[in-house]
């Protein structure tokens, strides 16, 4: 037992050095600087198998977004198409190198700035949460790959969450990337029979049920405090991004519905901070859709895009009483297109696009609808 612990400590110590050596070039070059002016187009996506062709990056390049948000499963670090395994620092680094060598990805990195968070597979564990032993190592590799400076606070936080505000007053876009892995309590498996699950519109073999323990964590208290501070900053449009879906809570997959008290807490925090213009972004499910709930202070939309390299024909059949657009079951990325000059006020188009840049759906949101009826937004003053 002692020897095993020593090996684990030694492996961890070495692992902290290996990633930086592996991605020293990426940290200093290859990534475009984040935008400094007005934002009109933000693309995002999730779920990219690093061993598969990735032609969809050419479609992203054709659209020419101001920013791309990578929302998790940016690589598959614990699964290479057959059986799940426990990754090492070496294997995670190798997976990112494989992604970095994709011709289309090389091209998009030279054209479009990136921000990124993770979900389970790039975190390194399918059901991974607070107890994942390699999370410190995984964070270093992740942040090194995406060019995060060595002085970045993301390297010292309890997770990789991040936020930025772009654009001038009256046209500010806030991007908030959450980390729903680092502090997440253990999931509760769904032990119901296949027939019972399918009768409820739940398919697949890896389901979970809601954890009704109020103490069960998803973000962790430090991240909640940080999020409150971000939501109190002024912005006209706020994009809150999560690796897993926030609004849909019926699929039994890894989603905010597994943590109902945390889901409710998010909606309440949006109201308490007076945050307006909130649109939620998510990935994970291997198809695209838009979901809407009235549980917040204003309508809350959850725009999901998943399947940069693959889709799942079964998952879209799961129940989602919140769905207002989709499902779109092709390899896809999401596009948030902002028409600031529209009258009587700005309009946001939520589009799911395929490898040919063709729209699977387009859903329009009036930015003025994403605020309480009392008071005025900055463009109405």
Q: pLDDT (tens digit, 9 = 90+) per residue, 66-118?
A: 999 999 999 999 999 999 999 999 999 999 999 999 999 999 999 999 999 99
pLDDT attached to residue 182: 98
User: What mean pLDDT is reported for the chain?
Assistant: 91
| φ/ψ of residue 289, rounded to 5 | -165, 165
Yes or no: say if 310 and 331 are a contact pair by the CB < 8 Å rule: yes
Report if residue 8 sits inside a domain.
no
pLDDT for 175 equals 99
In this prediction, residue 194 carries a pLDDT of 81
Residue 13 lies inside a defined structural domain of this protein: no
Note the pLDDT of residue 280: 98
Q: What percent of the chain has pLDDT over 90?
A: 81
Report how many domains make up the chain.
1
pLDDT at residue 288 in the model: 98
Q: Is residue 60 part of a domain?
A: yes
Q: Give the model's pLDDT for residue 204.
A: 60
Q: Which domain holds residue 195?
A: 33-380
The model's pLDDT over 155-202, given as tens digits with 9 standing for 90+, comes to: 999 999 999 999 999 999 999 999 999 999 999 998 888 888 878 777
Which pLDDT value is given to residue 206?
Answer: 60
CATH number of the CATH domain containing 214: 3.60.21.70
351-372 pLDDT, tens digit per residue, is: 999 999 999 999 999 999 999 7
Query: 333 pLDDT exceeds 90?
Result: yes
Structure tokens at 94: 């190798």
- Mean pLDDT to the nearest integer, 47-52: 98
Is the confidence at residue 145, as pLDDT, over 80? yes
The residue ranking higher by pLDDT, 190 or 54, is: 54
Higher pLDDT, 275 or 194: 275
- Percent of the chain at pLDDT > 70 equals 89
In a domain, 26, yes or no: no
- 193 or 260: whose pLDDT is higher? 260
Distance CA(335)–CA(156), nearest Å, equals 31
- Is residue 299 within 8 Å of 346, Cβ to Cβ? no
Helix (H, G, I), strand (E, B) or coil at 94: helix
SS3 289: strand
Q: Is the pLDDT of residue 240 over 80?
A: yes
Instruction: Determine the Cα–Cα distance for residues 23 and 17; give it in Å rounded to an integer.
Output: 11
- CB proximity list for 301: less than 8 A, separation 6 or greater: 247, 279, 280, 290, 291, 292, 324, 350, 363, 365
For the segment 196-230, what is each residue's pLDDT rounded down to a tens digit?
Answer: 887 877 766 568 889 999 999 999 999 999 999 99
With respect to residue 61, please indicate whether it lies within any of the assigned structural domains: yes
In this model, does residue 10 exceed pLDDT 60? no
Confidence at residue 205, expressed as pLDDT on a 0 to 100 scale:
57
Whether 2 maps to a domain, the answer reads no
| Contact assessment for residue 254 and residue 260, using Cβ atoms and an 8 Å cutoff | no
Residue 2 burial (CB < 10 Å; 0-12/13-18/19+)? exposed
* Residue 28 counted as domain residue: no
> Is 24 a member of any domain?
no
DSSP 34-69: PP-S---EEEEE----TTS--THHHHHHHH--SEEE
């Amino acid at each position: 037992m002692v020897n095993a612990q020593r090996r684990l400590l030694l492996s961890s110590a070495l692992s902290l050095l290996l990633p930086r050596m592996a991605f020293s070039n990426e940290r200093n070059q290859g990534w475009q600087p984040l935008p400094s002016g007005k934002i009109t187009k933000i693309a995002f996506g999730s779920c990219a198998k690093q061993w598969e062709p990735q032609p969809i990056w050419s479609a992203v390049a054709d659209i020419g977004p101001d920013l791309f948000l990578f929302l998790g499963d940016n690589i598959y670090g614990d699964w290479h198409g057959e059986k799940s395994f426990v990754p090492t620092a070496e294997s995670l680094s190798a997976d990112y190198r494989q992604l970095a060598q994709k011709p289309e990805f090389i091209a998009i990195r030279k054209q479009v700035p990136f921000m990124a968070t993770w979900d389970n597979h790039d975190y390194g564990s399918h059901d991974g949460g607070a107890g994942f032993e390699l999370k410190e190592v995984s964070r270093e590799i992740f942040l090194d790959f995406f060019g995060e400076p060595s002085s970045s606070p993301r390297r010292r936080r309890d997770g990789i969450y991040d936020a930025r505000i772009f654009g001038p007053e009256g046209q500010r876009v806030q991007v908030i990337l959450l980390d729903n892995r680092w502090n997440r309590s253990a999931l509760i498996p769904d032990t119901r029979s296949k027939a019972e699950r399918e009768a409820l519109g739940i398919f697949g073999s890896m389901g979970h049920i809601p954890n009704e323990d109020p103490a069960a964590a998803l973000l962790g208290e430090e991240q909640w405090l940080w999020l409150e501070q971000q939501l109190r900053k002024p912005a006209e449009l706020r994009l809150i991004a999560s690796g897993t879906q926030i609004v849909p809570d019926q699929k039994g997959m890894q989603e905010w519905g597994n943590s109902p008290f945390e889901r409710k807490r998010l909606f309440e925090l949006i109201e308490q901070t007076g945050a307006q213009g909130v649109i939620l972004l998510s990935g994970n499910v291997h198809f695209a859709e838009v979901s809407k709930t009235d549980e917040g202070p204003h309508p809350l939309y959850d725009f999901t895009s998943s399947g940069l390299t693959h889709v799942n024909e079964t998952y879209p059949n799961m129940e989602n009483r919140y769905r207002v657009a989709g499902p779109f079951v092709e390899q896809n990325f999401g596009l948030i297109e902002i028409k600031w000059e529209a009258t009587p006020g700005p309009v946001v188009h939520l589009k799911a696009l395929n490898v040919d840049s063709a729209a699977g759906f387009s859903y329009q949101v009036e930015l003025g609808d994403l605020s309480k009826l009392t008071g005025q937004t900055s463009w109405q003053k």
